[in-house]
Amino acid sequence: MTVDHSPLHVEVRGPDPGPNVETFLLIHGFGASVYTWRHWVPSLESRGRVLLVDMKGFGAAAKPDDGRYGPTHHAELIGNLLDREDPDHLTVMGHSLGGGVALLIALSMAEQDDRRLRRLVIVAGAAYAQRLPRFVTLARHPRLAGAALKLVGPERTIRHVLRSIVHDRATVEPDQVRTYAEALRTKEGIRAMLDGARQIVPKELNRLTADYPTLDVPTLLLWGRQDRVVPVSIAHRLCRDLPNAQLKVLEECGHIPHEERPIASLQILEAFLSRA
């Protein structure tokens, strides 16, 4: 569904909201969409209400030419969605860029003493200043990125990116490539992605990271040992900074554990949700 007066696209699964119904909010990473959670959704919707968000500029969401595509803006838009939905027993999950956005949402809720947030799940999340992956640094140069994309084509570009961020290239599926390539088939999609790449690091990042110790909610940090996008050293640092976090690292796994190792990653998630 398209949310009124919002550039977000939201898909809702599971039961109707109620006082004892858990809500799971899922936020994808850079260049992805709600498709990224396809292996986890059946389990989550058996537990409660699932809100799958395409962030502004990605997937089926609107792509306005307003120059506002930074993580802080994404967090604000999703925060507005939560105010409208007003969920109880909320678990926020985010991958990569979406993991960073999930942390920003949690910080905002903590600052407002909002008790609705019960858990966090951060999957290979962007959390601190780090070296940006090559596909993001290229996208920050619009002319060069546009020329390269035109020369190579959307599907070959996405196939190359996916194979560069997983551990086992054989896990990259044709449908996965086709789905993510859709965003690069329109001028609006390309422009939104380039805008997002240029703004991917929040200007106030150091101030935000200093507040991580205030996030005293049960948190699962899930990483792949061979993550070359957000290295596992980031996970260890985040685990030290968050007072109620546990870190699970999957061996022989890259940057997208929920897609590359769907069964193993889901088992870890389900165990966490059953305990926390």
State how far the Cα of 247 lies from the Cα of 222, in Å rounded to an integer: 6
What is the token pair recorded at 97? 């860029």
CATH of the domain at 257: 3.40.50.1820
- Helix, strand and coil percent figures for the chain, each rounded to 5: 45, 15, 35
Whether residue 77 is contained in a domain is answered as: yes
pLDDT recorded at residue 258: 98
**What is the per-residue pLDDT across 232-242, written as a single tens digit (0 to 9) for each?**
999 999 999 99
Per the domain annotation, does 1 fall within a domain?
no
Domains in the chain, number: 1
> Is residue 135 in a domain?
no
Cα-based distances in Å from 231 to 17, 165, 268, 272: 37, 11, 19, 22
Query: For the chain, what percent of residues have pLDDT higher than 70?
Result: 99
Residue 167 lies in a domain: no
Per-residue pLDDT of 183-232, as tens digits, reads: 899 999 999 999 999 999 998 999 999 999 999 999 999 999 999 999 99
In a domain, 82, yes or no: yes
173: which residues sit within 8 A by CB, 6+ positions away?
A: none
Q: Is the pLDDT of residue 267 over 60?
A: yes
Domain hosting 19: range is 9-130+204-275
- CA 179 distance to own-chain centroid: 16
Residue 30 near residue 56, CB atoms below 8 Å: no
CA 243 – CA 54 distance, rounded (Å):
30
pLDDT band for 72, please (50, 70, 90 cuts): very high
From CA 24, how far away is CA 47, in angstroms rounded?
9
Q: Name residue 200's amino acid.
A: I
Alpha-carbon distance of 92 to 23, in angstroms, equals: 8
Average pLDDT, integer, range 57-78: 97
**Torsion angle of C-alpha atoms 162, 168, 171, 174, degrees rounded to 10:** 40
Residue 2 lies in a domain: no
Instruction: Give the pLDDT confidence score for residue 4 in this predicted structure.
Output: 53
SS3 108: helix
Question: Does residue 137 sit within a domain?
Answer: no
Residue 52 in any domain: the answer is yes
